[in-house]
Amino acid sequence: MINSDKIYHRIIHLIGLLFFGALFIIAWIYFKERMLSFDPAYFSFGILESGKFAIACNRWGMAPSQFLPLIALKSHCSLETFLRLYSVSFILINYTLFLICTIALKNFRAAVALMLTLCLAFRWEFYYSTSELFMGMSFSILFWAIIAPEEPYSSQIKQWVAALISIPIIVLISYCQQLACFAVIFSISLELIGSKRWKDLHIWIVFIFALGWFYLRMKFFSNTSYELAKMEGQVDLLSSLPDFFSLRSWAYSKVYFLVSLKTLGFTFLFCIIMMGIRRQWLMLAFFIAFLSGYLVFLVLLFPQDVDELFFQYYATLFGLFGGITLMYLIGVEISNPNYQFSKIIVCLIISVLLFINVKGIYKAHFIQTERIHYFERLTEQGKKLNNKKYILSTKSIPNNIIFYHQFFPYETMLYSSLPSPDSALTFYPTDNVNQFDSVIHDKTLFLGTPWDPFSAKSTTINRNYYHLPATEYMKLNTSQADSSFHESDFNNKNVILKSLSNEVHSNVYNFIIVPIKITNTSGHIINSIPDGEHPVMLTYHLFNKDGSLLSWDNTRTPLELDVRDENTEGLMVYLPPQKGTYIIEADFVTEGLRWWNASTKFNLIVE
């Protein structure tokens, strides 16, 4: 009994080592999935170009995550090493915060809350690595560890020191992401209500400072065009409130939480039951009201056009609310030396929760891995041509896996340059492939972001990591409405489909993308933009394993690129609702006219 605390602390350290070790391994192995998409690719490009911190919207709280890759860059590391170190730097920072909580602050419940915060509401979001909000959430747990010690501070001096230390941490959190204010307000409010610190001057000073500072930060220091646009979009939030339960975002939120975040729901339910058993009615009312208020806020942010990426991104805060509340409630059992058995139960509960959620994070890599496979298909085709700089139509991009196109030129350039700087390619997506016809012959042109496409030249970007030759941009997608395209030129004699796998397996999502090799010997190009009167697309027939037909007409997949002679294209296949073995027959279809009968078959295993 005397050593029960030490044993418990050692177990928490072991759990922390295993948890962060698992995340480290995932981040190291799937560095492409984490670093070659969206903001991470853009920030990586910015660091490589400038050799300095790449900070957007004055969110300097992200600077610590860039120390390690910058040090490696100064040592002339390879591009792959740079990206791997950038990917794992976030894990190392969070593990450092874990050690600060356990070793320096002796606050083991905060350490556990940190782990729960980083996984309870994370699945795909783990692969959106450079999120300022996630970093703000981690620092918020450090803030909570300081203002809510496991053992009350023994003197007024220590209380004042804790209050003073917490103030710069609040400022740091505000320079991560403004929504992190919810994390700070929640943790202070929980301490005020749960621990009944109504008369504690120190925590009231911290609370008032937090409210005042976040107001000033949002009102006067959010002066970038991006942040101002976001704030302007939030002014009319209440206008959708009367139609709340009919909003698409409300319907989406119910499906998302019930399907993807079951363990988070169980955590909330467990907390509510514990508060009810203990008759902590005020705390229960606060908990339900705060969660409901934040959910309403999220739903009203995206009333009709649900931005799934940002909805899930903002929803990760629910993991912090659940993690802090759970560890607060079981703090009595942890701190009471007579409750040895309770400590064992707590460790088991924590271990199960962490295991289930880390497993979910691992499985969620699928969409990002499919992005990488798409880059691979683009790169394979781009290397066959001589231009190395290409323009794509957004109508031909698989939007199930490519949610945003803003940073596509950087994503594809970084991916293609991994083997060697000389293998660099870049692809620029646009709604109108003729948009840049007036400048397309400029061999120094490099098309960047949509809001500033001419910010760099291909001859001036960092040649230590990517060598883009002085060539013109080439269009890889052509309209099927073009007069040169005649779908009757193609048949099963001159077009052959071949699945690259005889058997494919399902994943945690409701679709898979199957690579199909297309060989075109017709002497004509199969145009890819499906905007003709009778568009040509890839599709499939679905059969049971005994060969009986289940569905003849299924999802249409636009060609990713024009097919000149031989391409590998991705076929979108939505999974049947029942588990089992199915037969997929892929084919071309000309809508309203004919099937090409250039088919190929493979088995689909739904698990």
132-172 pLDDT, tens digit each: 999 999 999 999 999 999 989 989 999 999 999 999 999 99
Question: How large is the average pLDDT for residues 197-206?
Answer: 95
pLDDT at 588 over 50: yes
Question: How large is the average pLDDT for residues 322-347?
Answer: 78
Per-residue exposure over 145-155, b if at least 16 CB sit within 10 Å of its own CB, e if not: bbbbbbeeeee
- Tell me which of 463 and 2 has the higher pLDDT: 463
Residues 71 and 92: beta-carbon distance below 8 Å: no
pLDDT at residue number 333: 60
DSSP assignment letter at 105? S
CA distance 464 to 471: 19
Work out the burial of residue 329: count CB atoms within 10 Å of its CB; fewer than 13 is exposed, 13-18 middle, 19 or more buried: buried
Between strands 503-505 and 445-446, the pairing is: unpaired
Say which range, 17-21, 78-82, 209-213, 438-442, has the weakest mean pLDDT.
Answer: 438-442
- Tell me which of 17 and 345 has the higher pLDDT: 17
pLDDT at 604 over 70: yes
Query: Residues 6 or more apart from 440 whose CB is under 8 A from it?
Result: 391, 472, 473
State both tokens at 172: 């740091």
pLDDT tier, 462 (very low <50, low <70, confident <90, very high otherwise) = confident
For the stretch 502-548, pLDDT in tens is 999 988 788 999 999 999 999 999 999 999 889 999 999 999 999 99
State both tokens at 475: 């269009």
pLDDT at residue number 320: 98
pLDDT at 243 over 90: no
What percent of the chain has pLDDT above 90?
81
Say which range, 94-108, 338-352, 387-401, 581-595, has the weakest mean pLDDT.
Answer: 338-352
pLDDT at residue number 187: 97
pLDDT at 225 over 60: no
For the stretch 396-438, pLDDT in tens is 999 889 988 999 999 999 999 999 999 999 999 999 999 999 9
Q: Which CATH class is domain 487-606?
A: mainly beta
Residues 424 and 416: beta-carbon distance below 8 Å: yes
Supply the pTM of this predicted model.
0.94
pLDDT at 222 over 80: no
Amino acid letter, residue 447 = L
The structure tokens 């008759």 sit at 279
pLDDT at residue number 236: 64
Amino acid letter, residue 302 = F
Work out the burial of residue 536: count CB atoms within 10 Å of its CB; fewer than 13 is exposed, 13-18 middle, 19 or more buried: buried
pLDDT at residue number 334: 63
DSSP assignment letter at 390? E
Question: How large is the average pLDDT for residues 91-99?
Answer: 98
pLDDT at 328 over 80: yes
pLDDT at residue number 1: 43
CA distance 228 to 415: 32
pLDDT at 340 over 80: no
Question: How large is the average pLDDT for residues 240-252?
Answer: 89
The CA distances from residue 308 to 222, 253, 264, 397, 451, in Å, are 24, 10, 18, 18, 22
Question: How large is the average pLDDT for residues 366-388?
Answer: 94
Amino acid letter, residue 457 = K
Helix residue ranges, H only, 302-447: 308-315, 317-329, 331-335, 340-363, 366-384, 408-416
DSSP assignment letter at 575? P
The ranges assigned to domains in the chain are 4-228+316-364, 367-475, 487-606
pLDDT at residue number 223: 56
pLDDT at 268 over 90: yes
